[in-house]
Chains A and B, each alone.
Chain A
Amino acid sequence: MREFDDLKPAEKVDLTLSKNIYENLEKFEAFLGESSDIIIRKFKLGLNEIPCAVVFVDGLIDKEIVNNHILKSFMCQVTILEENRNRPIDNTQAFEEVKEHVISIGEIEEVSTLKEAMHSVLSGDVVIIIDGFNKFIAVSAKGWASRGITEPEGEVTIRGAREGFTETIRFNTALLRRRCKDPNFVIKSTKIGRRSNTDISYAYIRGVANPKFITELERRLSNIDIDAILDSGQVEQLIQDDYLTPFPQIQATERPDKAIANIFEGRIVILVDNSPFALIVPATFQQFFQSPDDYSERWMFGSIIRFLRWMASFFAVLTPGIYIAIASFHPGFIPTDLAISVAASRATVPFPVFVEAILMEITIELLRESGARLPKPIGSTISIVGAIIIGDASVRAGIASPIMVIIVAITAISSFIIPTYSLSMTIRMLRFPVMILAAILGIYGVILGFIIIFSHLVTLKSFGVDYFIPQAPMYLREWRDYILRLPIQTQKFRPESLDPLDKKRKKD
């Protein structure tokens, strides 16, 4: 845990709790007093008029709960209780009595240090201070404005749940828990960030996920030293195996169904507060080509589409390179008619093929990026303007050949087909080095690029699991869910490469 002292180094405050309520409140005020959203409400308890106070942050608590279940019980119902029992609450017994008879809220906790108390207040608990005790009661009454559960926009499926993760971690864990009623389904929590104290939960099924991944994840999480975690993307970058590679080694998803499916396979899902993206570890390359749709539709279509995605990823990386190679080095490789029409269409273009290709590819990247940042209605307009007007106009103006426009369009569409944004970005970027190699060494350069990409891919690991599984090393059993998605009836085993404790999905 962080050192409490660096919260407010200027003030010298005695951090031990005293039995006197006023001294304790002074300590709270020393830290939180300047902030306008901190509310400290003092009142008297029962017939003996024991001084009490509640401390909470306005906006993080549910006012209904605080008023009805805390303040009302403390001020009115206690006296009714005392009259019925015919004896007032004793000063020495007040703490236990309050816990047992007054607070009508499920989740309460005793806190005995100022640090814990401060933490509870700041994460949305109500801290109750009673005179004569050097411990507090923290009552959970969290309730803040949050975005509801909406459809995940980054990962759309045709057939599949419409729920997506949201920013509040508690909703997200509930989304997972609802999908797995196994008592062995564990959701553990920790806090990261010296100042932000962001909640991080990781979920797995005990007895399925291999403990070596869990201990490794815990080790990596505890090694994180950073002041603030704002998004799960930061966590991803801090715990991944290799940061000198363009390939994502951890999968991020907005979809609870995808996350829970991976948990059932023996992986671990990490949830970060304030981020609608869950992280899945360990991740392998083939996972980035999967979409929940593959499983909910019949296996033949799932297989065909899966295969199409693999093809598309190769197209997206290699097509511009191959075009450059053929057009500028070896026109003899394509049928003569086609070669002639390529040459004819390029006749008016003043640039070499490479320059033309780079220009067009950069243009499409520009369009894509600007379309993504704009509000939706304008974004679609931009892409239409880009696709039709710029494409057409540049051909008419003689800057690009029509075939180049086709190539660029095919590449762009192919990179869109990959269901994971992080990998589709990698693939978009990889085509530029391949284009450069093609411009220097022709088709041989493209092959070299291909070789280098694969030589690099096989060196990668995600939490110690080989990245290019199940192809290298070969796990033939896992090929049932690799380039093809074979019928669910045949998917009897969890991925062997993840070394799950429970290997079979079925009983037999």
Chain B
Amino acid sequence: MDNTQDKLTDTQIMFLVISSIFGVTGLLLPRMAVEVAGVDSIITIIITGIISLMLLRVMVKLSSKYPNKIIIEYARDILGSSLGNIYAFIFTIYLLSISGIVLRIFADTIKGIILPETPLEVIMITMLFTSMYLMLNGISSLSKVCEIFMPIMILVSLILIFLPLKKFNIEEIYPIFSMGIKPILKGIPKIFSAFIGLEMVLFITPFAKDANNILRYSTVGLLIPTCLYTLLVSTTIGIFGIATTKFSLYPTLEIARSINFPGAFAERFDIFFMFFWVLASFSTLSCYFYMTALSVAKLAKLNYYKPFALIIAPLIFLIAIVFPNLQEIFIYSQYIGYLGISILFSNVILYIVYLMRKRRHIQ
């Protein structure tokens, strides 16, 4: 490992997990949720949060068995060389695609709301370069930036959630369970894509200052986005009702737009929110970029990831640019979401295999 880097403190781990989960999806989630399960999506989110909490436990447990390795390396140890390599390869491809999708959704949102006349490519390239500047400085700098940006983002999100509460109409949230339990469970896989980013914990063990605290702090790091998601979706539904939420592209921004402070220039709170949303998305993108570069380096059995960043950046750009429109991305990102879920769940299998091997070893 890169020894010149500082080790990650506990709070840094927490914010890394928060920022890799809570980013781009924050803008889209209410619509995604409502499409899936209507009013009951609030419950779906809570259930998904609980499931991911359990997954997180397994993932941290597993990675703590290999304190000096990340998933790409110990997958080989557990699954054997060939199978492990295939797994690691799929994992890397997945990370790469997620980076591309994050970049694309980000750029599309910027283009749609802030810069309608600027070419998409310009937005993407500038963002990618900025992100590269950060991630080349290592995970320590990355986590520090998360530590600066995420508290502000959480604060602004809370403002966004609680300021329009007087428009909140409690009747919109009733009737819960009107359609039974089935849509709630059906919605879980889709909602799960909002929790993607959890895999960050598979990458931080070698860099942690105190590996024993990873579980506790990453749990907090997961709980915060879960709470924010739940609050955000219930506020959106409570204010707009299901029908409106379903048909707005960025429902979170719609809420922001509906806020008006008495007086001053806050006529467009959405722009204010966008400012901080860009910061959050930037840290998400940088996290994924970093994970991808590190995975590729480890796949090539090298410790030095920086040169790979230069190869990966164009790849991310290509993935991001290949989609003709936002609709296609949403479809594709669903598949990637499913892939992400299976990768997250594959950790359970990895853990079981690990335990079996260990038992056999002892016998």
Interface residues of A in 411-458 (CB under 8 A from B): 441-444, 447-448, 450-452, 454-455, 458
Chain B residues with CB under 8 A of A473: 6, 9, 11-12, 143-144, 147
Residues in B with CB closer than 8 Å to A448 are: 126-127, 130
Contact across chains for B144 and A458 when beta carbons are under 8 A apart: yes
Q: Is the CB of A441 within 8 A of B122?
A: yes
B115 touches A451 (CB 8 A): no
**Distance (Å) between the CB of B277 and the closest chain A CB?**
10
Roughly how many angstroms separate A335 CA and B271 CA in the complex, as a whole number? 12
Task: Produce 1/0 per residue, B125-140, CB < 8 A to A.
Answer: 0110010011001000
A444-B110, A466-B6, A473-B9 are known contacts. Are A458 and B145 too (CB-CB below 8 A)? Answer: yes
Q: Which residues B262-307 have CB closer than 8 A to chain A?
A: 265, 267-268, 271, 275, 278-279, 282
Q: Mark A448-487, 1 if CB is under 8 A from B, else 0.
A: 1011101100110000001010011110100000000000
Q: Is A452 in contact with B130, judged by CB distance below 8 angstroms?
A: yes
Q: Which of B143, B149, B265, B267 has the most CB of A within 10 A?
A: B267
| Residues A455 and B114 in contact in the complex (CB < 8 Å), given A444-B278, A448-B126, A473-B147 | no
- CB contacts under 8 Å to B, within A293-338, are 329-330, 332-335, 338
User: Which of B115, B127, B265 has a CB less than 8 Å from the CB of A338?
Assistant: B265
Give the distance in Å from the alpha carbon of A332 to the alpha carbon of B114 in the complex.
10
Main secondary structure of the interface of B (DSSP, over half): helix
| Least Cβ–Cβ distance between A107 and chain B, in angstroms | 47
A451 close to B9 (CB less than 8 A) = no
Q: Given A466-B6, A466-B144, are A454 and B115 neighbors across the interface (CB < 8 Å)?
A: no
Are A474 and B114 within 8 A (Cβ)? no
B148 at the A/B interface (Cβ < 8 Å)? Answer: yes
A455 contacts which chain B residues (CB < 8 A)?
130, 133-134, 137, 141, 145
Whose C-beta in chain B lies nearest to the C-beta of A461?
B6
CA distance A474 to B18 in the complex (A): 15
Question: In the complex, are the beta carbons of B126 and A441 less than 8 A apart?
Answer: yes
B166 to chain A, nearest CB (A): 21
Partner of B114, one of A442, A450, A452: A442
CB of B348 closer than 8 Å to a CB of A: no
CB distance from B362 to the nearest CB of A (A): 40
A332 cross-chain contacts in B, Cβ below 8 A: 268
Give the distance in Å from the alpha carbon of A473 to the alpha carbon of B15 in the complex.
Answer: 11
Instruction: Specify which of B110, B115, B268 lies most central, judged by the most chain A CB atoms within 10 Å of its CB.
Output: B115
In the complex formed, the residue of B with least CB distance to A446 is B275
Residues of B in contact (CB 8 Å), total 31
- B47: Cβ under 8 A from any A Cβ: no
Once the chains are docked, how many angstroms separate the CA of A333 from the CA of B272?
Answer: 10
When the two chains form their complex, are residues B144 and A443 in contact, meaning their CB atoms are under 8 A apart? no
User: Per a CB cutoff under 8 Å, which of A329, A338, A468 touches B148?
Assistant: A468
The residues of B that contact A334 with a CB separation of less than 8 Å are 265, 267-268
User: Which A residues are in CB contact (< 8 Å) with B342?
Assistant: none
Whether the pair B148, A454 counts as a contact (CB closer than 8 A) is yes
CB distance from B90 to the nearest CB of A (A): 31
**Contact A447/B279 with A338-B265, A441-B126, A466-B6 known, Cβ cut-off 8 Å:** yes
Question: Per a CB cutoff under 8 Å, which of B118, B148, B267 touches A472?
Answer: B148
Contact digits for A133-154, partner B, Cβ 8 Å, 1 yes 0 no: 0000000000000000000000
Chain A residues with Cβ below 8 Å from B11 are: 473-474, 476
Q: Are B12 and A451 in contact (CB under 8 A)?
A: no
Specify the chain A residue showing the minimal Cβ separation from B107. A444
Q: Are B265 and A472 in contact (CB under 8 A)?
A: no
Q: Which of B110, B114, B130 has the most CB of A within 10 A?
A: B114
- Asked if B123 CB lies within 8 Å of chain A CBs, one says yes
Per the bound structure, the CA–CA distance linking A459 and B278 in Å amounts to 21
Closest chain B residue to A445 by CB distance? B126
Of B115, B144, B145, B267, most buried by chain A (CB within 10 Å of CB) is B144
B279 touching A451 by the CB < 8 A rule? yes
Q: How far is the CA of A375 from the CA of B100 in the complex (A)?
A: 59
What is the CA–CA distance of A2 and B115 in the complex, to the nearest angstrom? Answer: 62
Report B-chain residues with C-beta under 8 Å of the C-beta of A441: 115, 118, 122-123, 126
Residues B148 and A444 in contact, CB atoms below 8 Å apart: no
Q: Are A458 and B271 in contact (CB under 8 A)?
A: no
Chain A residue contacts of B267, Cβ below 8 A: 334-335
Given A448-B126, A466-B6, A474 contacting B265 (CB threshold 8 A): no
Query: Nearest-CB distance from B257 to chain A (Å)?
Result: 12
Question: What residue in chain A is nearest B209 (Cβ atoms)?
Answer: A473
- Kindly report which residue of chain B lies nearest to residue A335, judged by CB atoms: B267
A454 and B145 within 8 A (CB): yes
Write 23 A-B pairs (CB below 8 A) sorted by A numbering: A329-B114, A332-B268, A334-B267, A338-B265, A441-B115, A442-B114, A443-B114, A444-B126, A447-B278, A447-B279, A448-B130, A451-B130, A451-B145, A454-B145, A454-B148, A455-B137, A458-B144, A459-B137, A468-B148, A472-B145, A472-B147, A473-B6, A473-B143
Chain A residues close to B by CB (< 8 Å): 329-330, 332-335, 338, 441-444, 447-448, 450-452, 454-455, 458-459, 466, 468, 471-474, 476
* Further 17 A-B residue pairs, CB within 8 A, beyond A329-B115, A444-B110, A455-B145: A330-B271, A441-B115, A443-B114, A443-B271, A444-B278, A448-B130, A451-B145, A451-B279, A452-B130, A454-B148, A455-B141, A459-B137, A459-B141, A466-B144, A472-B12, A472-B145, A473-B143
Closest 3 CB pairs of A and B: A472-B144, A458-B144, A472-B147
